[in-house]
Amino acid sequence: MTSKYKIGDTIELKTKDASYAGLVMPSTTAETLFLRLFSGYQVGIKKKEIKSATIVAAAKKEKETVEKKKVEINPKLSTISILHTGGTIASKVDYKTGAVIARFTPEEILAMFPELQQIANIKSRLVRNMWSENMRFAHYNVLAEEIKKEIAAGVDGIIITHGTDTLHYTAAALSFILENLPVPVLLVGSQRSSDRGSTDAHLNLMNAVYFAANTDLATVAICMHNSTNDDSCVILPGTKTRKMHTSRRDAFKAINASPIALVDYHKNEINYILKHAQKKDKTKKLELKLFNEKIKVGIIYQHTNMFAEQFKLYEKYDGLILLSTGLGCPPIIANDEFTAENAKIFKALQSLMKKGIIIAFAPQTIYGRIVLTVYEPQRMVLNAGVLGNCCDMTPETSFIKLAWLLSNYNKEDVKKLYSQNLRGELADRITMDMDEE
Q: Where are the domains of the chain?
A: 10-57, 79-288, 297-417
Whether 433 has a pLDDT exceeding 80, the answer reads no
- CA-nearest of 28, 31, 47, 29 to 11 is 47
Percent of the chain scoring above 90 in pLDDT: 69
pLDDT at 285: 95
Q: What is the mean pLDDT of the chain?
A: 89
Q: Tell me, what's the pLDDT at 66?
A: 47
What average pLDDT score do residues 173-199 get? 87
Tell me whether residue 246 is one of the annotated catalytic residues.
no
Tell me what percent of the residues of the chain surpass a pLDDT of 70: 89
Please identify which of the residues 10, 79, 85, 88 carries the catalytic annotation: 88
Q: Would you say domain 10-57 falls under CATH 2.50.20.10?
A: no
164 is catalytic: yes
**Which of 289, 363, 366, 290 lies closest to 329, judged by CA?**
363
Q: Which CATH superfamily, name and number, covers 79-288?
A: L-asparaginase, N-terminal domain (3.40.50.1170)
User: If you average pLDDT over residues 341-369, what whole number do you get?
Assistant: 97
User: Residue 97: its pLDDT value, please?
Assistant: 53
Q: Which amino acid is at 129?
A: N
Residue 399 CA to residue 239 CA, distance in Å, equals 11
Q: Which of 14, 15, 54, 165 is catalytic?
A: 165
Q: Which amino acid is at 247?
A: S
- How far apart are the C-alpha atoms of 371 and 358, rounded to whole Å? 18
44, pLDDT greater than 80: yes
**Comparing 79-288 with 297-417, is the CATH topology the same?**
yes
Q: What is the pLDDT of residue 24?
A: 86
Range with the poorest average pLDDT among 21-30, 51-60, 139-148: 21-30
CATH fold for the domain made of 297-417: Rossmann fold (3.40.50)
Winning range, highest mean pLDDT, from 17-21, 193-197, 276-280, 432-436: 17-21
* Selected catalytic residue, list 92, 123, 243, 253: 243
What's residue 96's pLDDT? 55
What pLDDT score does 436 carry? 43
Q: What is the pLDDT of residue 59?
A: 79
The DSSP letter of residue 3 is P
pTM greater than 0.75: yes
Does the annotation mark 230 as catalytic?
no
Tell me, yes or no, if 219 is annotated catalytic. Answer: no
Q: What is the pLDDT of residues 86-134, one digit of tens each?
A: 766 655 555 555 555 555 676 777 777 788 889 999 998 889 888 899 9
Q: What is the pLDDT of residue 91?
A: 59
**pLDDT of 131:** 84
DSSP code of residue 127: S
pLDDT value of position 100:
54
- Per-residue b or e along 101-134, where b marks 16 or more CB atoms closer than 10 Å to that residue's CB: eebbbbbbbbebbeebeebbbbbbebbeeeebee
